[in-house]
């Protein structure tokens, strides 16, 4: 992906992330967190600014993807690993 993600890209990411979490995919474990890296809050399911699944933040309040999309089979050479900040 060389441009900003589209809604279709986001839908593909969410579907892949949910499937990986539900399958217990250990390769995504390093990115699973209940805390938003962007605001530092631990949102709940009623928070409209975050996208969660099973309590994990999938998309932060500023729209950034928390799980490495490359691990989900979505080529994203420009994805920034929030864990390295």
Domain ranges of the chain: 7-75
pLDDT at 26 over 50: yes
Q: What pLDDT, on the 0 to 100 scale, is given for residue 67? A: 96
Token pair for 56 = 């994990």
Kindly report the length of the chain.
85
Residue 1 in this model has a pLDDT that exceeds 50: no
Q: Exposed/middle/buried for 23, CB within 10 Å: 0-12, 13-18, 19+?
A: exposed
pLDDT reported for residue 5: 77
This prediction's pTM: 0.89
pLDDT bucket at 3, cuts 50 / 70 / 90: low
**Phi–psi pair at 36, nearest 5 degrees:** -75, 125
Per-residue model confidence (pLDDT) at position 84 = 81
For residue 28, count other CB atoms closer than 10 A to its CB.
Answer: 19
């Amino acid at each position: 992906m060389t441009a900003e993600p589209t809604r279709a890209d986001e839908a593909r990411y969410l579907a892949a992330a949910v499937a990986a979490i539900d399958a217990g995919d250990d390769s995504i474990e390093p990115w699973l967190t209940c805390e938003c890296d962007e605001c530092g809050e631990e949102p709940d399911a009623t928070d409209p600014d975050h996208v969660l699944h099973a309590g994990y933040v999938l998309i932060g309040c500023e729209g950034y993807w928390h799980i490495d999309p490359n691990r989900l089979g979505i080529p994203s050479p420009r994805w920034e690993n929030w864990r390295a900040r």
